[in-house]
Structure 1
Amino acid sequence: MIEHAELISMISSYGLWVLTPLAVLEGPIVTVIAGYLASLSILSLWQIVPCVIVADIVGDSLMYLLGRLALGGLSPTWRDRLGLSRRRLFCLMRGFRRNGTRILVAAKLTHAAGFAALTAAGAARMPFVDFLVANTLASIPKSLFFVVLGYLFGSAYETIGKWLSGEAALIVLALGLGLFSVIYLRRRRVHR
């Protein structure tokens, strides 16, 4: 992983040429740093916003593609070892057809569940156009939030980076899963 000081130096020196690929790879912390550099007038706010949104969508599309291709390349033995039996895959596909948008938006907003949901969407063969629409709807406010966070509080980028990659992300994931479980159990009880 690249150190935060190196990120600032690289983005300051090369601008959008390095911001875009870094935003695809590192995501939110690069967006926070870009917002910070915009507050210092090193980068243009109006240029970084579309750049980080597109980079977020490209990175998420690569995760989708990984899920879609990796599942097809696995032998039935490996699928069974990973717990991806035919029945589970069918349920996964049905779940993404019914609630794919909700699942993706919730995963993007919790940040920690993003990788699993994005690759699962590909594995479930969620239609790519539906994936793009749902992902774009979630990427815009998420990216704007991180740009504003960097613009207003960017000098604290190291602390923000720790929040995004450490225990705080796991806590947000646990809270999200807990909330999802409560809602699921309540709905299931109502439908009985």
Structure 2
Amino acid sequence: MLALTFTDLVSWIIAHGYFIFFFTALVEGPLVTTAAGVAAALGYYNIIIIVLIAIAGDLTADVIYYFIGYHSRILVIEHYGHRFGITRERIEKIEKMIHTNFRKTMLVIKLSPIIPIPGLIAIGASRVPLQKFIEISLLITMPRSLLFAFLGFYSGKAYAYLGNTITNGSYIMGGLILVIVVIYLIYQKITSNIAREANIE
């Protein structure tokens, strides 16, 4: 089922172009970026542009959540915080972590599959300087976007090569997609453990 879904995602990205890829990257960066990397390997897109769009999409989403927290601290916490997993206690915990080690706090929040949105909103609510926020966000976003874009790209290249030399190309594609999905799930597991150990879930 995961393999089928990923194949559909690749086809969907191929059909809709760079512009739509940017907006999907706002929501689900790693998986969508990997799918776009596969599409680039198959000749539909330029991999460098895919990487740049993935970075821009991820950073744009971060800044949006930052400003929600920065300009609506009381409103977010008191009225809508529970919908995003944001409580006064979590804000206070993140504020303490920011003062102790801001880079580590950003790394935990950005890599966790569970707390990115409430964490980024909480950082904005903590009034961290925007320039500092963007600099650290970029340092984390760039290597992650490169990793997933080229994971998809080289998986797609491997499929194209093996498909020309070996029969049963559908099995090859299924195997490569399985590898991508396994790597993605391992990434999710590792980042979830990082957040759990940091005790801000």
Q: In the alignment, is residue 169 of structure 1 matched against residue 173 of structure 2?
A: no
Which residue number corresponds to residue 140 of structure 1? 142
**1:150 partner SS:** helix
Give 1:168 deviation, angstroms: 6.5
Q: Number of aligned residue pairs: give it.
A: 174
Give yes or no for contact 1:110–1:172 (8 Å, CA) kept in 2: yes
Q: Which runs of 5+ in 1 are unaligned?
A: 182-192
Give 1:19 deviation, angstroms: 1.2
Q: In the alignment, is residue 84 of structure 1 matched against residue 103 of structure 2?
A: no
Could you say if the C-alpha distance between residues 75 and 162 of structure 1 is closer, same or farther in structure 2, counting changes exceeding 3 Å?
same
**What is the Cα-based RMSD across aligned positions, in Å?**
3.2
Give 1:141 deviation, angstroms: 0.3
Could you say if the C-alpha distance between residues 167 and 42 of structure 1 is closer, same or farther in structure 2, counting changes exceeding 3 Å?
closer
Which residue number corresponds to residue 189 of structure 1? none
Q: In the alignment, is residue 65 of structure 1 matched against residue 90 of structure 2?
A: no
Give 1:149 deviation, angstroms: 1.2
**Cα separation, 1, equivalents of 2:80 and 2:115:** 23
Give 1:160 deviation, angstroms: 3.8
* TM-score in terms of structure 1 length: 0.72
Q: How does 1:1-192 map to 2 (within 5 A)?
A: 3-74=5-76, 83-84=87-88, 89=91, 92-154=94-156, 155=173, 156-157=176-177, 160-161=180-181, 164=184, 169-170=188-189, 172-178=191-197, 180=198
Give 1:110 deviation, angstroms: 4.4
Give 1:64 deviation, angstroms: 1.9
**Cα separation, 2, equivalents of 1:100 and 1:58:** 20
Q: Which runs of 5+ in 2 are unaligned?
A: 157-172
Give 1:58 deviation, angstroms: 0.6
Task: Please give the per-residue CA displacement for 1:51-107, whole angstroms capped at 9, x wherever unaligned.
Answer: 111111011222223333453215758879x6516xx75564353244222211233
Could you say if the C-alpha distance between residues 67 and 75 of structure 1 is closer, same or farther in structure 2, counting changes exceeding 3 Å?
closer
Give yes or no for contact 2:109–2:116 (8 Å, CA) kept in 1: yes
